[in-house]
Amino acid sequence: MPAESLPEPGTPEDSGTSGPRHRAKGRRRKPRSKRHKALLVTAWAAAGVVVLGGTGLGYMYFKLNDNIKSVDINQALGTDRPLDVDNGSQDILVLGSDTRSGSNKKLGGGTDDGSARSDTAMIVHVYEGHKKASVVSIPRDTLVDRPECTDSEGVEHDAANGAMFNSAYTTGGATCAVKTVESMTGIRMDHYIEVDFSGFQKLIDELGGVKLTTTKDIKDTDSHLNLKAGTHTLTGKQALGLVRTRHGVGDGSDLGRIQLQQAFIKALVEQVKDIGVLSNPKKLFDLADSATKAVTTDSDLGSVRELASFANGLKGISSSKMNMVTMPVQYDPADGNRVLIDKTKSQQVWNALRNDRPIPKTATEGTATGDAKGVVSGG
């Protein structure tokens, strides 16, 4: 059968691909970009993925390279990880970090104690062919069994039962967060991308804001957000407030905030396709400079060249080809501010991603949800 006639995996409405799946050790093959002259920014930020392409030669190239912070997760985690599947798909853990230090201090609240929290977590599964993606948000208040892990500095951390999911990052940074996600899902993460508060805010400003529509007033003094119902072009500060708000709309839960984040990400991804920075070299460089300063990646993405290749493989995914769900959970009967993994339904999600198949709709039916769906849409 010709390659172009094969069905593509993706959202629940699609049939997905068929045929046997083969497990194999090693990393998935990365799509290689044939062009490094243009820099394309595909921003899925704080709740999503901020990905950058590479550009140019000489000073600008090396300056952008120097901006990128990376963590050698493969070295830290060693061989005790799920087997990889070489089928052309990719799984990326994306974290929005709530680092209470430096320029993030006034954005994150609290004191300048240098502590760090994972404020937002998503698994992005890019299907074979790189035309569609599923995004699974992990509520930070989920109670999980956190495995023992060794952080990037070589410090060992004990396992913990019934710990909040975001404690993995607080305890051991990126490597412990990846270890916890792989333990929960049985899926090897190919890449890790982290976006910090101040970098996210500046990046949105560099993009010229994000246009979206709210169907209700949203006011939350904790996240410095005050939006009337209607269409807005959000500044970086407003966008940050929106993806962080818990009390401005809905039931005040982390699940409601996730619904706002998912709607914002779709609006952002759609807008980035039309920003036209390639015709403006200064805007192009300023955007790339801000974006590379905003992210921390795994070491395999720790250069402009690798980020360019990675971004080039994602640029065909539009918001309509992104299926966004929340990891199936139920409210904790002992504490309404915490949620527990719905193991049966979540296993449907992980099995689908592991086999590069669409997430079945039954996986999220009857699970706990927030109360903010439909409040935000693209402008």
User: Tens digits of per-residue pLDDT, 155-188?
Assistant: 999 999 999 999 999 999 999 999 999 999 999 9
Q: Give the separation between CA 272 and CA 62, rounded to whole angstroms.
A: 25
How many other CB atoms sit within 10 Å of the CB of residue 323?
A: 20
Which pTM was predicted? 0.81
Contact 329, 368 (CB under 8 A): yes
Place of tokens 């970098």: 199
The DSSP output letter for 280 is -
Cα separation of 123 and 353, whole Å? 10
Give CA separation, 230 vs 177, 195, 240, 378, in Å.
Answer: 37, 28, 18, 11
- Other beta carbons within 10 angstroms of residue 79's beta carbon come to 6
Q: Which domains does the chain have, with CATH numbers?
A: 24-207+276-357 (3.30.420.590)
- Please list the rounded mean pLDDT of every run of 10 residues in the chain (379 residues): 42 43 44 36 33 43 86 91 89 81 45 58 94 95 95 92 94 95 97 88 88 90 88 93 81 83 87 62 78 90 84 82 95 92 97 96 92 80
Maximum CA extent, the chain? 61
State the pLDDT at residue 274.
Answer: 61
